[in-house]
Amino acid sequence: MNPIDILLLSNGPGEITTWVRPVVRAIRQQMGNDRRCVRISLILSPCPNASGREVEIAQSYPEIDRIQAARHFFPFLLWGKTADSWDWRDRGVVVFLGGDQIYPVIIGKRLGYRIVVYGEWETRWHRWVDRFGVMKPELIDRVPQQYAHKLSVVGDLMADVEIGGWEDGGWGAKEDRGDGEENTPVPLHPLSLIPHPSDSLIALLPGSKPAKLAQGVPFGLAILQQIYHRRPNTRFVIPVAPTLDLATLAKFADATQNPIASKFGNVTATIDREGDRVYLKTTDGLRVDLWLKFPAYDLLSRCALCLTTVGANTAELGALAVPMIVLIPTQQLDAMRAWDGIPGLLANLPGVGSGFAKLINWWFLRKPRLLAWPNIWAGEAIVPELIGELQPQLVAALALEWLSHPDELAEIRKRLRQTRGQAGAAQRLAQLVQSQAYR
């Protein structure tokens, strides 16, 4: 049997953890672990939501043989040369798992490889792509009839998100997260003993960029403080984004350094440690544990509910079937800048980006629309999206109502699972790749 190269193209942290990870495992299960027969390469393309740790994350996947960082992507796209002058086998498949769908077309044609594209919401370049594995049947109905035979429904890769054991690192891992101390301990025992799912664990996802953090951290802490006063046995945690160091988080949690905190009652928290625990604490006794392991699926799957900003994190929570309250406070209207295309470029321009962001967000939010991914998938509001000059006590009241009615939380979990579909998409996509590899 001729040796095969499988070249995966991907980009951001979400795609690396929720698409690449299950697919490479499925390819190895389907095509074997003999590297002389099947070699898997991963080439990353630039992504506006990149964390800077994509290569590090991918290196933890033993199924992948070689990886190239996003900064070397365009020389490879334009001239076909990798940073380490990789060799290529005569036969292979280019598999698209994130980025722009033109990339696999250009690269596949240059290498003479078959081209397989995973299509979540749309498919393009039908004439030149050999096969598409799509999330839902509706995508097949949208393509010209002469290309419909190229599309197969594989399902939703997000439904294949795996929840690993606590032994994979979890609370016992040690990392340097830029707080001035090396090997910062990640909390070990306090939450790992809580059963799954827990009615006493709430996660706060305030975002990862400064514009969101400035508003999200004090607002979130004010909500948690309200819940803590009513249910003092509740546990709270923040899954710290890989791009966020603890010193920066501490600054946004300090009302004396973050003027936006005055809009939410001037709640102030400082970082403290107790044995293996690392947490934010307030003067009235609220403690919010900090989880530094990425991705945080083990943790999130054990939460009763999450308070989150709008963004890709709502897709991951939906895939994990975690009830969430999606918060879009408008006290600081320029906080949302993670738009795609031209709006995103304008909102992030130096100096004038804040003004563009306010204008874009005002225009975008003035009409009712679904913003959280689970709601977009379902076409209805499975989880609440709260927009406006939100007050902490009102959000806390909703969270407390949910905690007092576990049957409502169970129903939301059920509906989220139904929205994401059945697992097995990675295996079906791997079968599609194998069928093209030996044509």
Question: What's residue 37's pLDDT?
Answer: 96
Mapped onto helix, strand or coil, the DSSP state of residue 126 is coil
Question: What's residue 172's pLDDT?
Answer: 35
Same structural domain, 88 and 205:
no
Q: Count the domains in the chain.
A: 2
| 391, part of any domain | yes
Calculate Rg over the CA atoms of the chain: 22
Question: What's residue 162's pLDDT?
Answer: 57
Q: 194 or 384: whose pLDDT is higher?
A: 384
Same structural domain, 277 and 402:
yes
Same structural domain, 231 and 94:
no
Length of the chain counted residue by residue: 439
Nearest residue to 297 (alpha-carbon basis) of 163, 157, 156: 163
* Res. 239 pLDDT band, cuts 50 70 90: very high
Which DSSP letter does residue 158 get?
Answer: G
**CATH code at position 235:** 3.40.50.2000
Residues above pLDDT 70, as percent of the chain = 81
Question: What's residue 365's pLDDT?
Answer: 60
Unique residue bearing structure tokens 């929840």 = 163
Q: 348 or 262: whose pLDDT is higher?
A: 262
| 160, part of any domain | no
Segment holding 251, helix H or strand E: helix 246-253
Q: Identify any residues that bridge with 237 across adjacent strands, giving them in sequence order.
A: 203, 289
Whether residue 347 has pLDDT greater than 90: no
d(CA 325, CA 224): 13
Same structural domain, 126 and 182:
no
Q: 157 or 398: whose pLDDT is higher?
A: 398
| 161, part of any domain | no
Question: What's residue 305's pLDDT?
Answer: 96
Q: How far apart are the first and last CA of the chain?
A: 12
Question: What's residue 168's pLDDT?
Answer: 38
Q: What is the mean pLDDT of residues 102-131?
A: 95
State how far Cα 157 lies from the chain centre: 13
| 174, part of any domain | yes
Question: What's residue 181's pLDDT?
Answer: 44
Q: Which two tokens stand for residue 171?
A: 């609370």
Nearest residue to 199 (alpha-carbon basis) of 399, 418, 415, 372: 399
d(CA 188, CA 438): 47
Q: Which two tokens stand for residue 46?
A: 């630039």
Q: What is the mean pLDDT of residues 306-316?
A: 87
Q: What is the mean pLDDT of residues 358-370?
A: 61
* Res. 167 pLDDT band, cuts 50 70 90: very low
Strands of the 91-96 sheet, one edge to the other: 66-68, 38-44, 4-10, 91-96, 114-119, 131-134, 151-153
Q: What is the mean pLDDT of residues 321-331?
A: 88
| Among 266-280, 351-365, 385-399, the least confident range | 351-365
Mean pLDDT of the chain: 84
| 397, part of any domain | yes
Same structural domain, 322 and 231:
yes
Same structural domain, 178 and 290:
yes
Same structural domain, 428 and 363:
no
Q: Is 370 left (phi over 0), alpha (psi -120 to 50) or beta?
A: beta
Q: What is the mean pLDDT of residues 344-371?
A: 57
d(CA 413, CA 324): 10
Same structural domain, 324 and 369:
yes
DSSP string computed for 40-101: EEEEE---TT--S-HHHHHHT-TT--EEE-GGGHHHHHHH---TT-----SEEEEEE-SS-T
Q: Is 193 exposed, middle or buried (0-12, 13-18, 19+ CB in 10 A)?
A: exposed
| 201, part of any domain | yes
Q: Which domain, by its residues, includes 63?
A: 4-155+424-437
d(CA 271, CA 278): 7
Which DSSP letter does residue 17 get?
Answer: I
Question: What's residue 199's pLDDT?
Answer: 66
d(CA 391, CA 376): 25
| 88, part of any domain | yes
Instruction: Render pLDDT for 168-224 as a digit per residue (tens, 0 to 9).
Output: 333 333 444 554 444 444 443 445 545 556 668 999 999 877 778 888 999 999 999
Same structural domain, 134 and 222:
no
Question: What's residue 91's pLDDT?
Answer: 96
Q: What is the mean pLDDT of residues 70-81?
A: 94
Whether residue 165 has pLDDT greater than 60: no
Distances, alpha carbon 196 to alpha carbons 8, 225, 238, in Å:
34, 24, 18
Q: 217 or 377: whose pLDDT is higher?
A: 217
Same structural domain, 141 and 227:
no
Whether residue 386 has pLDDT greater than 60: yes
Q: What is the mean pLDDT of residues 41-65?
A: 87
Contact indicator for 111, 88 with CB cutoff of 8 Å: yes
Whether residue 44 has pLDDT greater than 90: yes
Question: What's residue 90's pLDDT?
Answer: 95
Torsion of CA 350, 354, 359, 364, to 10 degrees: 100
Same structural domain, 433 and 410:
no
Same structural domain, 209 and 84:
no
d(CA 125, CA 273): 53
Instruction: Render pLDDT for 251-309 as a digit per residue (tens, 0 to 9).
Output: 999 999 999 889 889 999 999 998 878 999 999 999 999 998 877 888 998 999 999 99
d(CA 430, CA 26): 6
Whether residue 243 has pLDDT greater than 50: yes
Question: What's residue 188's pLDDT?
Answer: 39
Whether residue 346 has pLDDT greater than 80: no
